[in-house]
Amino acid sequence: MSSLKPALFLDRDGVINADKGYVSRVEDFEWIEGAAEAIANFNRRGWYVFVVTNQSGIARNYYSEDDMHSLHDWMRARLAEQGARIDRIYYCPYHEEGENPRYRRDSFDRKPKPGMLLRAMSDFPVRREQSFMIGDKEADMQAARAAGVAGFLFTGGNLAQFAEWTLAGFEDGNRG
């Protein structure tokens, strides 16, 4: 099926922005070097780019879903200014120890479970075997494996350089 395209799955905190713990406001958002460039590079290749992010700060009453959506709208607008586009942001607001009863539960979407990745692959015609995830935690790697895609651990530096290095190694057979 020629309409299938590979997907780049990105965690948010620690990959797109510096992980300062429960980032929910524009003033606390700090871009990872090369994040917009990495996304734009994969857009130009014709890949899908998805963000898959645990947002337990919602369950913990640190911020609301509206706060998160506002931040994501701002993030997407800044990316668009640099020619970069995220096809969809998948998030999990749930945590089984959350303060907010509305969000206090186990969820198949919460990484290390693969729900968000599987949903993206259900919502879009993704070529799974050519897709991969970049995350900064072992839970991201576990979610990728459980969803049947390769996972690569980002430990800092320039995301665009890391993504290009990852893609080159991935295409050469290093499947994470």
pLDDT at residue number 1: 46
Q: What is the pLDDT along the chain (176 residues), one digit of tens a residue?
A: 458 999 999 999 999 999 999 999 999 999 999 999 999 999 999 999 999 999 999 999 999 999 999 999 999 999 999 999 999 999 999 999 999 999 999 999 999 999 999 999 999 999 999 999 999 999 999 999 999 999 999 999 999 999 999 999 887 766 55
Q: Is 136 helix (H, G, I), strand (E, B) or coil?
A: coil
Q: Which amino acid is at 17?
A: N
Residue 11 catalytic?
yes
The residue annotated as part of the active site, out of 13, 109, 136, 140, is: 13
Question: Distance between the two ends of the chain, CA-based, in angstroms?
Answer: 25
- 3-state DSSP: the chain helix, strand, coil percent, rounded to 5? 40, 15, 45
pLDDT at residue number 170: 80
pLDDT at residue number 86: 98
Return d(Cα 164, Cα 162) in angstroms, integer: 6
What are the residues whose beta carbons fall under 8 Å from the beta carbon of 11, sequence distance 6 or more?
A: 51, 52, 53, 111, 133, 134, 135, 136, 137, 140, 154
Residue 73 catalytic?
no
DSSP secondary structure, 101-141, as one string: GGG-S--TTSTTS-HHHHHHHHHTTB-GGG-EEEESSHHHH
Half-sphere exposure of 17 (CA within 13 A, CB side): 23
112 and 139 Cβ atoms separated by less than 8 Å: yes
47 and 88 Cβ atoms separated by less than 8 Å: no
What are the residues whose beta carbons fall under 8 Å from the beta carbon of 145, sequence distance 6 or more?
A: 151
| Whole-structure pTM value | 0.95
Residue recorded with tokens 């913990």: 60
pLDDT at residue number 172: 75
The residue annotated as part of the active site, out of 11, 109, 136, 140, is: 11
